[in-house]
Amino acid sequence: MPLSLLRRCAVLSVVACPLAAQTPVPTGQWLVTICQDQVEVAIPMTFQATRDGGWEAFSKEGVAARLAGRAQGALGGLLGKLPPHGALTVFEDGTAAREGESVRIRATLASLGFGNRPAAGTFTPGRIRGELRRDSAGPVIATFEAVPAADARPPRDYAALAREIRRAFDEHLYDPHLLETPAWRDFFRDLEHDLALSSDDAEAMAVFYRLKPRLGMSHLELARMPAQAALPLDSLLALDAAQSSGVILAFPAPGVAYLRVRRWASATRAVDSAFVRIDSVRAHTLVLDIRGNPGGDASSIAPFAHLVREPAPAGVFLGRRWYAAHRAPPTAGELRALPTLTNDGSAETILSAVREHGAIAGVVTPRAPRFDGRVFALIDRGTGSASEPLTHLLRASGRATLVGENTAGAMLSAPPHGVGQGFLLILPEADYFTADGVRLEGRGVAPHVASPPRDALAVVADSLAAAHPYAAALLRGASRGEAARPAEAITAYQEARRMALDSAAPLRAIGTVQQQLRAWDAAFAVFDTLLARDPHDAAALYQLGRTAALSGQRQEAGITALRAYLAMPRVAGQPSSAAAQWRLGMIYEAMGRTAEARAAFEAAVREEPGNTDYRAALARVSR
């Protein structure tokens, strides 16, 4: 279950703008429901007119001050100041304008979970409906709906929620001895007290997130997700495994393979395919980029399987049955007696083995093709959970140079648990130790070369400069572009051009930097030059179409280029056909050709159903 999804709706407050005179505004008690993806929170709010003819709305007064006081000002520090009325959710300075029989309202959302977000909707006497956007021109990120309520009573029994949370920990936390420590006893005492006082779902989640840092443990999350909370555990684990792993293979320079994995979600097949392609081009260097990868499942070990010649131990997961009988990780002899987890093991496999046997040991089985070249792994503080055993293996085996920051130190196995009333709780059922006895939770893995994450690729470039100067120049350009230093990026790519005048790669890269600079004429000129050299240059066709989609210029040329790109066979390292369909849909949408835009976005979603950008685009043209 991605942590980002659970954090989005922790605490909400809304800010809006002045209201036109003589326009009806909502007043009285309303129940407001805010939804983002699967997260759904209900908040009783008081709506009232303001002196300037506008309106405002707020949840229970004084809650923010009470929580901030209990948290020694932490909430106020995060907000900068306590919100109006001391409420956690506030609509302020509302504006409205008549549109037929309804009233159009506009606002800006300001909250811990969302930041400042534009909001807009319609108000009728019996209902309010609206949307929250990333920015004024951005995609919809959430919706909200409100209906009149008889009073401001809490929508749920939060005291019962506290009891169910305690029950889940009592039954499933990997080490039952922890529950008897002072920190855990204080946590449950205050959770029970504060949840009993909670007035809405947002406050209930705020209480949980305010208290959980006391425990010093990762993988503790609470969100109200009614659809998922109603599913059995095996279905929840299957949903998580069905998410896109985001495995991206590119060849930014001759002999250099760049493998980016955004999340480990049944990624083994995609990783295997990437190594087949890497082997086919005879790459001498692999850059494995797992910066910001929050973890996932045991497919995280898949890259290591292509880097070794012999089977290797990959650590051990320990659960309640183990800790009930032991106070230390397994000895070498005990490890040999445990069931084993291979490269293809799923989250369900780990969970079942830990529940039944108390422990399961990981083993990496070598896979073909094997890559014997030089390996760099890019890591940062966002490299967590399932990414960390891989990182430790790469370091302990000497098989890769780690570049970047210390990893997150958040390595536990934590499935979701329904705890009633639509709430979903993530809690750790398994601890983890490496094969050499290191507990990664709270510790993480240190890099060989410390570097700000955005400069990590430059470290790789410097390491390759002596043996492969042209490849190093291209990588340096890519690094400068990633670090938002476009002028330096262009300089590096121009240096690469001087080394290889016949190569299209540096010129193509310069064109993408011009896109970043919104220098549309310069970008079009680059891709026109490349296509004049080779009308079948797939990368140039895609980038010309992308330039048209982003700029709103030369739209027909962009359509022609993207259609030609889609007609070509896909090659690893090039943008997916889903990405091309998305860009094509963007052009059609800008031209007002809604049916064609919808068809293109539908094609993108069919190919990559987990991509939120594609889904948001389809929703936008389907309204």
DSSP conformation letters of 302-322: HHHHTT-SS-EEEEEEE-HHH
Q: Nearest to residue 111, comparing CAs of 85, 91, 94?
A: 91
* Residue 204 backbone phi and psi in degrees, to 5: -60, -45
The answer for residues whose C-beta is within 8 angstroms of residue 305's C-beta and 6 or more apart is: 343, 364, 365, 366, 367
Q: What is the pLDDT of residues 228-259, one digit of tens each?
A: 999 887 787 766 655 656 899 989 999 999 99
Residue 531 pLDDT > 90, yes or no? yes
Average pLDDT (132-152) is: 87
Q: What is the pLDDT of residue 501?
A: 80
Average pLDDT (273-299) is: 95
Helices marked H in 452-554: 456-464, 469-482, 486-499, 505-516, 520-533, 538-551
Number of Cβ atoms within 10 Å of the Cβ of 605: 20
Q: What is the pLDDT of residue 1?
A: 37
Residue 346 pLDDT > 80, yes or no? no
Helices marked H in 243-378: 268-280, 302-305, 320-325, 332-336, 347-357
Q: Is the peptide bond before 415 cis (omega within 30 degrees of 0)?
A: no
Average pLDDT (145-151) is: 95
Q: Compute CA 240 distance to the chain's CA centroid, rounded to the nearest angstrom.
A: 13
Q: What is the pLDDT of residues 165-194, one digit of tens each?
A: 999 999 999 999 999 999 999 999 999 999
The answer for residues whose C-beta is within 8 angstroms of residue 301's C-beta and 6 or more apart is: 314, 343, 362, 364, 389, 390, 393
Residue 73 pLDDT > 50, yes or no? no
Q: CB–CB of 605/614 below 8 Å?
A: yes
* Percent over 70 (pLDDT), the chain: 91
Least confident piece of the model among 352-361, 535-544, 593-602: 352-361
Q: What is the pLDDT of residue 610?
A: 76
Q: CB–CB of 362/298 below 8 Å?
A: yes
**pLDDT category, 344, cuts 50, 70, 90?**
low
Least confident piece of the model among 67-71, 452-456, 539-543: 67-71
Residue 78 pLDDT > 60, yes or no? no
Identify the helix (H) or strand (E) that includes residue 286.
Answer: strand 285-289
d(CA 417, CA 172): 9
Average pLDDT (324-351) is: 83
DSSP annotation of 455: G
- Delineate the domains of the chain, giving CATH numbers in brackets: 3-148 (2.40.160), 158-233 (no CATH), 240-450 (3.90.226.10), 457-494 (no CATH), 495-622 (1.25.40.10)
What would the 3-class secondary structure string for 590-602 be? HCCCHHHHHHHHH
Q: What is the pLDDT of residue 10?
A: 36
d(CA 564, CA 586): 17
- Exposed (0-12), middle (13-18) or buried (19+): which is 190, by Cβ within 10 Å? middle
Q: How long is the chain? A: 623
The answer for residues whose C-beta is within 8 angstroms of residue 550's C-beta and 6 or more apart is: 515, 518, 520, 586
Q: What is the pLDDT of residue 216?
A: 95
| pLDDT averaged over every residue in the chain | 89
d(CA 397, CA 407): 17
